[in-house]
Chain A
């Protein structure tokens, strides 16, 4: 029991600080790497605004177009299940909010545990469906490299360990919680250096696409 407790203390102490530092510095470096490359200003006479179409694309790309949805429903549905389930279990689980509150000094209302529990199951299901899709869909199979499977695992482990810890399926509890925190640290450390960065960069990508189209008078 003491070993497990020591492990938990280390995981939520030093290890967490190190992981969080790497995450924050890494994300800043990556965003700087991208933004510092810049984008030449076009000398052509604009046919439309860039700002509003850019912002609109940031939002509108969250929904799939009808044709794509009909052709690849599994990719779209698995994506939604996973992302929505993840956001609920990450941001609306009361212990997560309390941790945030204790660290930063503010919080927000959470959802009752059974709902978060269901969201976690949905997220795990979505991730498993996405993995199955990646392994069987010929396009995804060809596109996927080691990194795609690595980021899948990095995302899956916190959900799995969180679920196991909440349901007391690993004993003793400090070990379960320690493993959950450790899996998140692994995610945080590798986040800036992998495709997990899309969490941030997709807003840039969508904005650039929408803005460049808006300039030409097209809404993308």
Chain B
């Protein structure tokens, strides 16, 4: 990567200004309602966390260079420039206290998509050298090793061997011509290998041909989180290369929020062409299998369960109804949280926040919102569909001394399959 400088940062901000950004900044009347949608404000009461305020550096670049009056003001010296000091101060606001959950984008009365702009503003922060060191290190590992957590294929191969030995299931790797190529997140490889076992169980049960790819199994994309399209592009390209090498028809995004954003929505734009395969989230695939009658499940269980919508999959990804239909398949006692689906509250660890130690204390503090939301349901188990949400919620609940078992929805479905 090029050396980060203020000038490069300013150029990156400039490149990010498009018609929506200009329309959004032109429309803001400083009403402050976005603060009420942001858990970093609602849980701390600190107005500095107001979402639109987090965009001040990008706003200045837009005003001073993309509006007539701003250019005049700049010539007359009537504007405050974007400086290194400003960007340093804003690092906390653009990274530690924003998960890009996009709840603010949902409440803005003039319709500003604030999360869209935070993602863009982060490009300027990376280029100017003002992104958190932890996330930078994770991005560097992702590029060099292939995984932000430093997980190599060796580690995955070991997990595959364990699972195959324990269960007798077969986990195909690098099978050219298979239909489905599921991706994984490092967290699933290390913390939740149950997910891989569940995939194997489901594919076998449904009789589908599938394969993992040894050089394109990692779905997470630190480039998307930190705000570097260069890194994001490289990581997406690896997946596309893997999928094209194996000639698969479908790439399946795992239980990981931003991985879905990266491969499903941003991927084709990053590499500049359409994919020759379809991208589905695992929950979308499971729901399709349900519809086509390929999932035979046992009687629904009566345990009271609730569901946490990962922001990138639900509010930002449109996978909202499929998890509900799957939950209905396996549970007769599913209860919604008060604000759910599009309106769900973030776990507080998305958008790279969970990988950022600077944000740890704040993240635990604002987790109270999620904790209260979960407790209100009276559920004895929490289901979700994102390994990162799951770890963040587990840690959060522990910090608040709440004991509540959690499970991924794919795993839950796999457990309810009728044994052949």
Q: Residues on A close to B: CB < 8 A?
A: 29-30, 33-40, 42-45, 47-48, 57-58, 61-62, 64-65, 67-68, 71-72, 75-76, 79, 134, 137-145, 148, 151, 193, 195, 197-198, 201-202, 204-210, 212-213, 216-220
CB neighbours of A217 from chain B (8 A): 317-318
Contact status A68-B320, CB under 8 Å: no
Contact among A34, A137, A142, A144 for B26, CB-based, below 8 A: A34
Whether A140 contacts B32 by the Cβ 8 Å rule is yes
Q: Which residues of B contact A201 (CB under 8 A)?
A: 23, 26-27, 110
B23–A208 CB distance below 8 A: yes
Nearest Cβ on chain A to B23's Cβ, whole angstroms: 4
Are B105 and A67 in contact, CB atoms less than 8 angstroms apart? no
**Contact between A212 and B18 (Cβ–Cβ < 8 Å)?**
no
The segment from B170-178, B197-205, B263-271 that touches chain A is B263-271
| A142–B343 CB distance below 8 A | no
Asked if B249 is an interface residue, CB under 8 A from chain A, the answer is no
Contacts of B20 in A (CB 8 A): 39, 204-205, 208-209, 212
In the docked arrangement, what's the CA distance between A148 and B53, Å? Answer: 14
Q: Shortest beta-carbon distance, B265 to chain A, in Å?
A: 5
**Scoring B residues 279 to 313 as 1 if CB is less than 8 Å from chain A, else 0, what string do you get?**
10000000000000000000000000000000000
- A-B pair count, CB < 8 Å, reads 181
B342 near A: Cβ within 8 Å? yes
Please indicate the chain B residues that have their CB under 8 angstroms from the CB of A68 in the complex: 33, 36-37, 107
Q: Tell me the interface secondary structure of chain B in the complex.
A: helix
Structural contact, B31 and A40, CB atoms closer than 8 A? no
Q: How far is the CA of A145 from the CA of B56 in the complex (A)?
A: 12
**Quick check: B30 and A65 within 8 Å, CB to CB?**
no
Least CB distance, A186 to chain B, in whole angstroms = 16
- Cβ 8 A contact of A33, one of B33, B47, B48, B66: B66
User: CA A79 – CA B268 in complex, angstroms?
Assistant: 41
Given A37-B18, A72-B36, A143:B53 Cβ within 8 A: yes
Asked whether B318 lies within 8 Å of A143 as measured between CB atoms, the reply is no
Q: Do A30 and B18 touch across chains, with their CB atoms under 8 A apart?
A: no
Q: A184: shortest Cβ distance to chain B, in Å?
A: 20
19 sampled A-B residue pairs with Cβ under 8 A: A33-B68, A37-B21, A37-B22, A39-B20, A42-B269, A61-B111, A138-B45, A140-B30, A141-B47, A195-B28, A198-B26, A202-B110, A204-B20, A205-B23, A208-B19, A208-B23, A209-B112, A218-B315, A220-B105
Nearest residue in B to A71 (C-beta to C-beta)? B36
* B36 near A35: Cβ-Cβ < 8 Å: no
A46, chain B: closest CB distance, angstroms:
10
Q: Are B17 and A33 in contact (CB under 8 A)?
A: no
Q: Check B343–A67 contact: CB distance below 8 A.
A: yes
Residues of B within 8 A of A65 (CB): 106-107, 343
Is the pair B19, A35 in contact by a Cβ cutoff of 8 Å? yes
Among the listed A29, A43, A139, A206, which residue makes an inter-chain contact with B68, where contact means beta carbons less than 8 Å apart? A29
Over the window 383-394 of chain B, the binary record of Cβ atoms lying under 8 Å from chain A Cβ atoms (1 yes, 0 no) is 000000000000
Q: Which residues of B are found within 8 Å of A139, using beta-carbon distances?
A: 32, 35, 41, 47, 50
- Asked if B30 and A144 sit within 8 Å, CB to CB, the answer is yes
Chain A residue numbers with a CB within 8 Å of B279 are 45
The answer to whether B342 and A218 have CB atoms under 8 Å apart is: yes
Besides the known contacts A140-B32, A193-B69, 16 further A-B residue pairs in the complex with CB atoms under 8 A apart:
A30-B68, A37-B21, A43-B269, A43-B272, A44-B266, A45-B274, A61-B111, A65-B106, A67-B36, A68-B107, A139-B50, A198-B110, A208-B19, A208-B24, A209-B108, A209-B113
